[in-house]
């Protein structure tokens, strides 16, 4: 299969981005360097017809005008990212005319890319997923669509069931790890106050439950992510959801302890094993540590069990098969540089590279490097 590529010029903060996508692709770089714009643009390249159909279905009217379409899709005020006569987009070698996309009529296309946004905590209001129409018309499409997906999931596929632990969802090893590192023996279930349903955490004591606003910050961040994984991992013989081929997950680490991040990365590996192509954005050095380990284990033909050792994960046959599948996948890492406005491929993750963006893993290891250097100097010269 030909490697998908996305080239962006003069779009928002991005002066030039050249992105090639592996089975697993990670975008790194400081805030406001264009990572989210690039990922939302990827969604548009893969799912332009489906995006238009959904916006039309919910009454969004951009009248065929590109600035209005950009505001409706990326969010209010974002039309300024497009510079007429300067902004260009090329998808897998073919120039894309966004003006024509804005003019295109509804197509009836199926969705091929599932987007889990960084703002996923907004998907729950008082502990229940918000419908698409509950948002402001100026809110980004990716946030509104993700929230609507979760609403459909909990209302149509769960009913009054407990949502976690749920024997029909996720491997037992994942459930055990999540119970240990995220939920801390709590359960996730559907409760009802008068006629209003809500998600609550059960503590196992006399049917007492904890409403959304008293959950930990990490639990509030994680539950929408968990439901997103539920959507992508149907409890059937079919390994993937419908026609979904791509998954975008922004900032998987938000609000999570490093042990919980490790569990989420294992669940990302499960998506890879199921045949999804996954794209991440991150500000976590732990994610890059995992990419570095995966790269070197793959290059040295290590056994799949060694990859599980990295995450302190159980080594049952199902987990070993997943790790084996992941070891056969390709991966890429791209760094969004604020100073130049350009991207760099830093997939080799060489800490000895001459280029600072690669040696510092997109800036994620710079602080620890400076701390190590400062301590080393102080130890060598205690009086200075």
E strand segments, 33-142: 88-91, 94-96, 113-116, 124-125, 128-129
Q: If DSSP codes are grouped into helix, strand and coil, which group holds residue 88?
A: strand
DSSP state of 341: S
Range 290-294 contact pairs with CB under 8 angstroms and sequence separation of 24 or more: 290/262, 290/265, 291/24, 291/26, 291/331, 291/333, 291/349, 292/349, 292/361, 294/326, 294/327, 294/331
Identify the weakest region by mean pLDDT among 13-22, 118-127, 141-150: 118-127
pLDDT at 160: 63
pLDDT band with cut points at 50, 70 and 90 for residue 265: very high
Question: Quick check: 192 pLDDT over 70?
Answer: yes
Question: Quick check: 20 pLDDT over 80?
Answer: yes
Mean pLDDT over 205-230 rounds to 88
pLDDT band with cut points at 50, 70 and 90 for residue 354: confident
pLDDT at 89: 97
Q: How much of the chain is in helix, strand and coil states, percent to nearest 5?
A: 45, 20, 35
pLDDT band with cut points at 50, 70 and 90 for residue 184: confident
Q: Going by C-beta distance under 8 Å and a sequence separation of 6 or more, which residues neighbour residue 106?
A: 49, 52, 53, 56
Matching CATH number, 5-148+241-347, of 1.10.760, 1.20.120, 1.10.357, 3.40.50:
3.40.50
pLDDT band with cut points at 50, 70 and 90 for residue 196: confident
Q: Answer whether 26's CB lies under 8 Å from 292's CB.
A: no
Buried b (16+ CB within 10 A) or exposed e, 81-108: bbeeeebbbebeeeebebeebbeeeeee
Identify the weakest region by mean pLDDT among 113-117, 235-239, 286-290: 235-239
Question: Quick check: 23 pLDDT over 90?
Answer: yes
pLDDT in tens, 233-259: 988 777 888 899 999 999 999 999 999
DSSP strand pairing (277-282 vs 24-28): parallel
pLDDT at 259: 94
pLDDT at 361: 74
Return d(Cα 58, Cα 106) in angstroms, integer: 13
- Mean of the per-residue pLDDT values for the chain? 90
DSSP strand pairing (196-202 vs 162-164): unpaired
pLDDT in tens, 289-309: 999 999 999 999 999 999 999
Mean pLDDT over 119-134 rounds to 93
> What is the C-alpha radius of gyration for the chain, rounded to an integer number of angstroms?
22
Mean pLDDT over 131-137 rounds to 93
pLDDT band with cut points at 50, 70 and 90 for residue 108: confident
Q: Answer whether 128's CB lies under 8 Å from 198's CB.
A: yes
pLDDT at 370: 67
Structural domain boundaries of the chain? Answer: 5-148+241-347, 350-379
Q: Answer whether 358's CB lies under 8 Å from 348's CB.
A: yes
pLDDT at 143: 96
Mean pLDDT over 349-359 rounds to 80
Closest Cα partner for 6 from 96, 66, 85? 96
Return d(Cα 255, Cα 220) in angstroms, integer: 8
């Amino acid at each position: 299969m030909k490697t998908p590529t996305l080239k962006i010029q003069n779009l928002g903060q991005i002066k030039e981005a050249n992105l090639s996508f592996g089975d697993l692709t990670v975008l790194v770089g400081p805030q406001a360097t264009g990572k989210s714009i690039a990922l939302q643009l990827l969604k548009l390249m893969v799912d332009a017809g489906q995006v238009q159909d959904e916006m039309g279905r919910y009454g969004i009217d951009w009248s065929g005008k590109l600035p209005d379409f950009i505001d409706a899709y990326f969010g209010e005020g974002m039309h300024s990212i497009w510079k007429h006569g300067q902004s260009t987009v090329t998808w897998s070698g073919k120039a894309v005319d966004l003006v024509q996309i804005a003019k295109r009529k509804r197509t009836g296309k199926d969705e091929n890319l599932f987007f889990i946004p960084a703002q996923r905590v907004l998907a729950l209001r008082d502990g229940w997923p918000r419908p698409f129409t509950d948002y402001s018309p100026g809110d980004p499409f990716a946030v509104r669509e993700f929230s609507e997906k979760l609403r459909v999931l909990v209302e149509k596929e769960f009913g009054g069931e407990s949502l976690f632990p749920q024997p029909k969802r996720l491997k037992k090893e994942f459930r055990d790890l999540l119970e240990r590192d995220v939920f801390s023996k709590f359960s996730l279930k559907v409760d009802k106050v008068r006629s209003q349903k809500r998600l609550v955490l059960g503590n196992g004591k006399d049917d007492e439950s904890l409403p959304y606003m008293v959950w930990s910050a990490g639990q509030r961040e994680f539950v929408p992510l968990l439901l997103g994984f539920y959507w992508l991992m149907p409890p059937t013989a079919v390994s993937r959801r419908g026609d979904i081929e791509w998954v975008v997950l922004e900032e998987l680490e938000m609000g999570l302890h490093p042990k919980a991040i490790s569990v989420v990365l294992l669940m990302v590996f499960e998506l890879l094993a199921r045949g999804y192509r996954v794209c991440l954005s991150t500000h976590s050095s732990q994610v890059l540590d995992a990419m570095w380990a995966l790269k070197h284990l793959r290059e040295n033909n290590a056994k799949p069990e060694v990859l599980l050792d990295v995450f302190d994960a159980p080594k049952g046959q199902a987990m070993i098969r997943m790790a084996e599948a992941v070891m056969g996948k390709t991966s890429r890492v791209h760094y969004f540089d604020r100073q130049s406005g350009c991207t760099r491929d830093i997939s080799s993750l060489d800490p000895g590279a001459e280029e600072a963006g690669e040696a510092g893993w997109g800036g994620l290891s710079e602080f620890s490097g400076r701390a190590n250097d400062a301590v080393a100097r102080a130890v060598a010269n205690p009086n200075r």
